[in-house]
Amino acid sequence: MALREIVYVPDEVLRRKARPVTSFGGELQTLIDDMVETMRNAPGVGLAAPQVGVSSRVIVVEFGDEEVPPKLYVVVNPEIQKKSDETLIGTEACLSIPGLAGDVERHLAVTVTGQSRRGQPVKIKASGWLARIFQHEIDHLNGILFTDRAERVWKLEEADPEEVLLD
């Protein structure tokens, strides 16, 4: 495993729709391992392949709270299949946009389908912050940044770090 360099706005890879993954060989496995290490080192709770300069539909998410220990999710070719009607505004930030945070409206619950790192089908039902993280990371795969969806954006030092989601 190795740390990868996180790319920043305005790098054009962040604005392109990432390519679907069709090969689950060693190159993909190395990318996933490196993404997990990079996300944890940043530190963040999610990372999309375009954030390390790779235009592939791969995300890693690791989240837990007081009630649930951290769990690592690796999803290849993720898609949101269902979204709750209920939404909530929450504060987000992004490793690719250092120094900024914003209020973003997201669905309270989502169902994500895709493939595991080995190509097996996966289905994840997520709610709360976990659902927010999945929506944020999948947006990255479609060239969408949180600032595109934010109702308000501000410099990060103005935010309470306890309330900010970093990916």
* 79 in catalytic set: no
Give yes or no for a contact between 77 and 23, defined as CB atoms under 8 angstroms apart: no
Q: Which of 27, 137, 151, 163 is catalytic?
A: 137
Distance CA 81, CA 143 (A): 19
Residue 119 dihedral angles phi and psi, to the nearest 5°? 95, 5
Give yes or no for a contact between 7 and 18, defined as CB atoms under 8 angstroms apart: no
CA distances from 53 to 4, 31, 47, 64, 87 (A): 9, 11, 11, 27, 31
Active site (catalytic) residues: 137
